[in-house]
Structure 1
Amino acid sequence: MNKKITIAIDGFSSTGKSTIAKLLAKKYNYIYVDTGAMYRAVSLFAKNNNFVGVDFLDSEKLVSNLDKISLSFIFNEALGFAEMFLNNINVESEIRTLEVSQLVSKVATISEVRKKLVAEQQLMGKEGGIVMDGRDIGTVVFPDAELKLFMTASADKRATRRYKELLEKGDDVSFEEILFNVQERDRIDSTREDSPLVQAEDAIGFDNSDMGIDEQFERICTLVDRKLIE
């Protein structure tokens, strides 16, 4: 199969978008781009430069410093996927903390941030052969993508997955804290004025509340294979 398509995966937080996207990229030898990591890296930059506090985000300062942010993905052969680099520093671990998770949806509401990152994402995928996951890939970044998926799961199931993941990393978190974060991110992502999280009209809804990763991957590969022979 020489045909290369664009696969856009949108959906709520902790629905396994990145896991599926990585598996698809590996199977089809596609480029994988985790757009959430890009927004997390900008959030980390804001945190590290004291643009955020307990209950505020200085969006004006962040916007005025966007030209100081350089983002890149560098493939790690040992891990089998590309890691996020912020200004040439590997920040893959730092951007996955609960502290950054609590900030990222607020940063993603800033139009100037979205404009910068969307332009970079479109450049990455202009040749096709790409799997990209995020919140607005099928609606804004690649509205003409050949395959669009919209992944969902109940908030409780997503919080449980995230809770187990953070515990395995050794983070000191509570389930209630994680559940609140999931629900709050849903609210912010779905109600922001600029590129809110919505399912594209031509996207395929995919509820994986009661589905393991192997079953999900098998079903989605069937969808990809159909597109490749159309």
Structure 2
Amino acid sequence: MAQNVPVMTLDGPSGAGKGTVSRAIAQRLGWHYLDSGAIYRALAIAALDAQLALDDVDGIVRTATAMDLRFEPGEPPLVILNGADVSPLLGLEVTGDAASRVAALGPVRDALLQKQRGFRKAPGLVADGRDMGTVVFTDAGCKIFLTASAEERALRRYKQLKEKGVDVSLPDLTREIEERDRRDRERSQAPLKMADDAHLVDSSAMSIEAVIARCLEILQSC
């Protein structure tokens, strides 16, 4: 039964390092990996492609129900939406902003809930997102809330975009991240918050390897 499969959840705000840490842990454990953010970002791409208004609940729910989404091995994993590789589009700010908006819609979250739970397969699952431990996998045996200051997360994103040759403003990025955080915390459906039984890890002054080591240490104690 799927309920007997161990789950480790990593929740937290955008830019805290959840994806990198979760993928590394899943690889080391030989477990499956769920990037819930990629699911919402893929849905945002599908909605934008269909020229849907981001508050068109019925249209976005239909899109969520009909979309064919799969992850293929890679570093990071490839995200295939309706037969097309949309991986390069996932990291765009416009995609992230749209994903945050559609994720605030209750019926949309309900439509994607079973898709996410379907990733729970033996020998185990590492799931990262905003509400993995509070909504999707409330019975997870090990829950971590990974965070970092908005300034540090903006700086990380700034460096990533600069390396890709993208001209971007650090103050603008900081404001965008703070606004996304506020929207995620204040939304009525599955707001961004730390589960009561989660372990807090602040990565602001930690290297990725240090964060991975800390999370594995927590997992061993769960």
Q: Shorter chain as normaliser: what TM range?
A: over 0.9
Instruction: Indicate if the aligned counterparts of 1:6 and 1:128 stay in contact, CA closer than 8 A.
Output: no
Instruction: Indicate if the aligned counterparts of 2:64 and 2:112 stay in contact, CA closer than 8 A.
Output: no
Structure 1 residue identity aligned to 2:24:
L
Aligned to 2:203: 208
Local SS of the residue matching 1:65 = helix
The offset of 1:64, in angstroms, is: 3.6
The offset of 1:4, in angstroms, is: 6.0
Q: Please report the TM-score for the alignment, with normalisation by the length of structure 1.
A: 0.89
The offset of 1:146, in angstroms, is: 0.7
Deviations 1:151-202 (A, max 9, x none): 1111101110111112212222211221121111101110111111111000
The offset of 1:126, in angstroms, is: 5.0
Over the matched positions of the two proteins, sequence identity in percent amounts to 36
| Cα distance in 1 for residues equivalent to 2:63 and 2:8 | 32
Aligned ranges 1:65-84 → 2 under 5 Å: 65-76=63-74, 79=75, 81-84=76-79
| Cα distance in 2 for residues equivalent to 1:63 and 1:129 | 29
Aligned ranges 1:47-196 → 2 under 5 Å: 47-52=48-53, 57-76=55-74, 79=75, 81-125=76-120, 127=122, 129-196=124-191
Instruction: Indicate if the aligned counterparts of 1:46 and 1:62 stay in contact, CA closer than 8 A.
Output: yes
Aligned to 2:14: 13
The offset of 1:89, in angstroms, is: 1.0
Aligned to 2:26: 25
Local SS of the residue matching 2:73 = strand
Local SS of the residue matching 1:206 = strand
Listed as ranges, the gaps of 5+ residues in structure 2 are none
Structure 2 residue identity aligned to 1:194:
Q
| Cα distance in 2 for residues equivalent to 1:177 and 1:50 | 26
Instruction: Indicate if the aligned counterparts of 1:51 and 1:59 stay in contact, CA closer than 8 A.
Output: no
Runs of 4 or more consecutive aligned structure 1 residues displaced over 4 Å after TM superposition: none
| Cα distance in 2 for residues equivalent to 1:4 and 1:62 | 31
The offset of 1:26, in angstroms, is: 0.9
| Cα distance in 2 for residues equivalent to 1:118 and 1:4 | 17
Listed as ranges, the gaps of 5+ residues in structure 1 are none
Aligned length: 219
Local SS of the residue matching 1:133 = strand
| Cα distance in 2 for residues equivalent to 1:212 and 1:114 | 33
Larger deviation, residues 32-41 vs 98-107: 98-107
Aligned-residue CA RMSD (Å): 1.7
